[in-house]
Structure 1
Amino acid sequence: MGFKYINQIANPDNLQEFLTLVDLAAGAGQNVNNAIDLSQKLHETAPMKVCLQILNQDADCAQMLKERYIGPYFDLETMLKMPKGSLGWTYAKVLSALGYDPQFYRSTENFKTDADYVTFRVFKTHDLHHILTGYSLDDLGELGVLSVSVGQFAYPGFTFLDLMSFLFRFFKNDQAYNKNMTPQEQVKTLNYAFKLVSAGIDMGQAAKPLFPVKWEENLERPLEEWREMLNIKPVLDGPYSWYTRKELQAAIA
C-alpha cells in the first residue's frame, strides 16, 4: 500500500520548512523572538488566508485591517497614574511587578501586507489579553491566552504553537495526569495542554471580537467594565490564573 498520502506532502522542501517551524516553536517559551519569527514565516500560507478571511467577515475587524491602527506605545509610568482598577493601571502594575517590557514586539509603521499588520497587533496586545482573561503570564497560563486568539480568528502562529504543545508533550511526558500533581508537573502532560487550549478557544469564541478594539484610547476604563462589555469570563483562581501569584496580588492590592 505504501505511504501514498504522506508522500504527497513529505517532500524535502516541505519537511525542512516544517522542521524550521518546529524548532522555532520549541524555543518560543524561552525567547519571544522565536514566536514572532514563527508567526512571520506563516504569513504567506493557507492558514493565514483563513485568518484574514475570518477577520474580514466582521465589519469592525475589516475596518481595523483597512485602517491599520497603531496607537501610542504603552507607557507604564503614565499608566500607573491611571485610576486604580482600570485596565491601564492593572496592566502597568502587573508588568512592572514582573519586570516585563511592554515594547517587546517588533514595531513598524510600514506594513507591506495585512498579515504583517495582524502579527504586529497580536503581539502588541498580547499581554493586555493576559490581563483581560486572567491567564497567567508564565508557562502555566500561556496556552490559554494563546488559544483565545485561535478561537477568535485562528491566528496561525498561535495555532501552530497549540498544535506543537500537543506533539511535544506526547513525546516527552512520561507520567499520566492526576489531580494530585503539582502545577509544574501537570503542565508537562497532554491533559494540561488539551484543557488549556480548549478553555482558551471557548473563551475566545464566547467573547466579542478583541482584534478591532483600540485599547490605547480607553485604558482608563475599569478592567471589570471591559470584561463585561466584551463578555470575557476571566480565570480568577487556580494555577493558570495570574491572580493567584502572590507578587501580583500584592501589586494590585
Structure 2
Amino acid sequence: MSYRYINSLASPENLNKFLELVDLAGGAGKDPKNVFQLGDKLSTGLQMQLCTQAIQKDPASAKMLEERYVGPPHDLKTLLAMPKGSLGWTYARVLSAIGYEPFNLTVPTRFETDGAYINFRVFKTHDIHHVMTGYSLDTLGELGVISVFVGQIRYPAFLFLDLVSLLLGFFTSDKLYDENMEVTDLNTTLGYKFRLISDGIEIAQAAKPLFPIKWEEGFERPLEEWRQELNVKPVMEGPYSWYTNPKIKAALEA
C-alpha cells in the first residue's frame, strides 16, 4: 500500500507543525494559555482565510471586522450592579460563583491582521457565550460552547480543538457513553464528545450571527431578551450546563 494521500501531506515540516498544534490543544484543558497560543498559531493561513470569508458573508459581521470594535473591559463590580436577570448581572454572578475572572486581554494599539482581531474578539466574548448558551465553564461544557463558533464562523482554533479532542478520545477512551455514568467518566467517552460538538453546532445553525454583537453595549438588557432576539436555545439540564451547578444556582437565587 502506497499511502499516496498521506504521503502528499506528511512532509517533516507539516508533521512538526501538526504535532506542535496537537500538543497545544491537548494541554488546553489544564492551561488556558495553550488556547491563546493555538489561536496565534492559526491566525494566518488557509483555515483563517476560510473563517474570515465566513464572517464576511454576513454584512453585520463584516462591518464588525472592518471596524475592529473592542469595547470596554468587563468589570465584575460594575456588572454585578446591573439589573437582576440582565446579561451583565448574570455573567458576573456566574463567573463570581466559580471564582473566575473575565478575559480582559491586552488591547494592541493596532490589529495587524483580520486573524489577530478575530482571535481577540473570540477570546474576549468566550465566557459571554457560555452564559448565553448555558454550557458549563468547565471541561464538561467546553466542547459545546466552542462548537458554536465552529458552526457559525469555522473558527480555526476551536475547530482544531474539536478534532483533537475526538482524536485523543479515539486512542484513550475505554468506556462507552452512558447518560447514567459518573460525571468524572463522561468527558472521557467519544459519545459525550460527539454529543457536545453536535449540539453546539446545532445551536450555531439555529442562532443569528453572534460575532457582530457588541455585548458590552447591551449588558443591561435581560439575558432572556438577548436569547430570544438571537434565537439562542440554551442547554439548561445535564452536567454540561451551568444551570445545574449548585454554586451558580445559589448565586443567581440570592
Band the TM-score falls in, shorter-chain normalisation: over 0.9
CA distance in 2: counterparts of 1:211 and 1:23, whole angstroms: 28
Contact 2:73 2:104 in 1 (8 A): no
- Superposed CA RMSD in Å reads 1.0
Partner of 2:159: 159
Contact 1:42 1:157 in 2 (8 A): yes
Residue 238 (1) aligns with residue 230 (2):
no
Contact 1:52 1:115 in 2 (8 A): yes
Task: Give SS of 1:135's match.
Answer: coil
- Residue type of the partner of 1:77? K
Task: Give SS of 2:250's match.
Answer: helix
- Residue type of the partner of 1:186? L
Q: Equivalences for 1:82-93 in 2 at 5 Å? A: 82-93=82-93
Partner of 1:187: 187
- Residue type of the partner of 2:177? Y
Distance 1:125 1:244, change over 3 A: same
Q: Show CA shifts across 1:120-179 (max 9, x none).
A: 000000000000000000111000000000011000000000001100111111112223
Distance 1:84 1:204, change over 3 A: same
Query: How many angstroms does 1:45 deviate by?
Result: 1.7
Query: How many angstroms does 1:79 deviate by?
Result: 0.5
Residue 4 (1) aligns with residue 7 (2):
no
Contact 2:129 2:145 in 1 (8 A): yes
Distance 1:105 1:30, change over 3 A: farther
Q: Show CA shifts across 1:201-228 (max 9, x none).
A: 0101110000000000110000000000
Task: Give SS of 1:66's match.
Answer: helix
TM-score for the superposition, normalised by structure 1:
0.98
- Residue type of the partner of 1:11? S
Q: Can you give the 5+ residue segments of structure 2 that lack an aligned partner in the other structure?
A: none
Q: Equivalences for 1:51-62 in 2 at 5 Å? A: 51-62=51-62
Q: Equivalences for 1:1-253 in 2 at 5 Å? A: 1-103=1-103, 105-253=105-253
Query: How many angstroms does 1:103 deviate by?
Result: 3.0
Count of matched residue positions in the alignment of Structure 1 and Structure 2 = 253
Contact 1:169 1:188 in 2 (8 A): yes
Q: Can you give the 5+ residue segments of structure 1 that lack an aligned partner in the other structure?
A: none
Q: Show CA shifts across 1:62-96 (max 9, x none).
A: 00011000000001000100000000000011111
CA distance in 2: counterparts of 1:202 and 1:103, whole angstroms: 26
Query: How many angstroms does 1:100 deviate by?
Result: 1.1
Contact 1:106 1:120 in 2 (8 A): no
Task: Give SS of 1:125's match.
Answer: helix
CA distance in 1: counterparts of 2:77 and 2:179, whole angstroms: 41
CA distance in 2: counterparts of 1:188 and 1:194, whole angstroms: 11
Query: How many angstroms does 1:104 deviate by?
Result: 5.1
Task: Give SS of 1:112's match.
Answer: coil
TM-score for the superposition, normalised by structure 2:
0.97
CA distance in 2: counterparts of 1:233 and 1:123, whole angstroms: 21
Contact 2:74 2:104 in 1 (8 A): no
Determine what percentage of the aligned residue pairs are the same residue.
57
Contact 1:51 1:153 in 2 (8 A): yes
CA distance in 2: counterparts of 1:234 and 1:108, whole angstroms: 33
Query: How many angstroms does 1:108 deviate by?
Result: 2.4
